[in-house]
Amino acid sequence: MRRDAVKQAGGFRSWFVTAEDIDLQLRLGGVCRVWYDPAVDLRATLIDGKAHSVDSSDMAFQMAGALALKDAAEQSEVLLLEPFDLLEVIVADDFVGTVMGDLSSRRARVLGTEPIGGGRSIVRAEAPQVEIVKYAIDLRSMSHGTGTFSRTFVRYEPMPSHLATTVKQEAKSP
């Protein structure tokens, strides 16, 4: 929440806005059950409200903020992001095609190959982390125990809509 919202919000004491701000940050991960990491690219502005000497408390303002955030999340399009890693796979030249095909089946984007001598090549690709959880075992099998790889986090990218729908449906089921 922007700090200038305090100036805009007539009728609020500043500590209520601060409590609302803290609660908003705490609840970002809990409003929509599929938000596993903190939400990004979200802006909330408190425009107006009224404080009452009997009914106004930190808890009341936190509840109002939680309900407003839940309502906004239900009305908006939630875009799920997934982490991507840069893979550098070192394999014998005989297995480059097999490795590239396997990476493609894992929704990876092959960036290229480079011979490193001795009958070996480096295959560089970017892949979703969820697709390469057991990659070491599969690579060992494909390369007859001779392949190695390293991975480095690169960025978050939007999850394909058909997969995001599945994740959202699984999160809603008890």
Task: Give me the chain's average pLDDT, please.
Answer: 75
> According to the model, what pLDDT value does residue 40 have?
64
* Cα–Cα nearest to 82, from 111, 113, 106: 106
Mean pLDDT of all residues in 140-153 = 91
Between residues 54 and 169, which one has the greater pLDDT? 169
Q: Is the pLDDT of residue 26 over 80?
A: no
Going by pLDDT thresholds of 50, 70 and 90, the confidence category of residue 95 is: very high
β pairing state of 81-92 and 109-117: unpaired
Domains delineated in the chain: 5-75 (no CATH), 81-158 (3.30.70.240)
What is the per-residue pLDDT across 110-126, written as a single tens digit (0 to 9) for each? 999 999 988 999 999 99
DSSP string, 122-167: EEEEEEEGGGGTTHHHHHHHHTTT--EEEEEEEEEEEPPHHHHHHH
Going by pLDDT thresholds of 50, 70 and 90, the confidence category of residue 6 is: very low
Half-sphere exposure of residue 70, counting CA atoms within 13 Å on the CB side? 11
